[in-house]
Amino acid sequence: MTQPIPICGAALPLSIFKMLLQYIANHHRFGINGKMIKYVLPTIDMRTMEIFHVHFRGMFDPVEDGKEFDYRDNGKPMYENIMNWLDDK
């Protein structure tokens, strides 16, 4: 079953976030080619159980470094922004 892609200004549902984590594990996790992501820090709104902010870091990135995404960024869906960054688009 395919999940609908979240719209602009919408937080990521846990089901979409899980698919995103699987994609990162297969293509961008630390120790393989890609972005070498070791840490993924989601911010979850416990009222809705949705992710509205995600911080990605590599093994040697200080906490203040890395790449961050928020559902309010640049008028595009957060999922689209993350996938474009992962795939260098």
Q: What is the pTM of this model?
A: 0.81
Phi-psi label, residue 36: left if phi above 0, alpha if psi -120 to 50, beta otherwise = left
What residues make up the domain containing 37? 12-86
Amino acid at 41: L
Q: What is the pLDDT of residues 18-60, one digit of tens each?
A: 999 999 999 999 888 788 899 999 999 999 899 999 999 987 7
The reported pLDDT for the residue numbered 1 is: 47
DSSP the chain: -PPPPPPTT-PEEHHHHHHHHHHHHHHTBTTSSSS-B-EEEEEEETTTTEEEEEEEE-TT--TT-SEEEETTSTTS-HHHHHHHHHTT-
Number of domains the chain is built from: 1
Please check whether residue 6 lies inside any domain of the structure. no
Please check whether residue 4 lies inside any domain of the structure. no
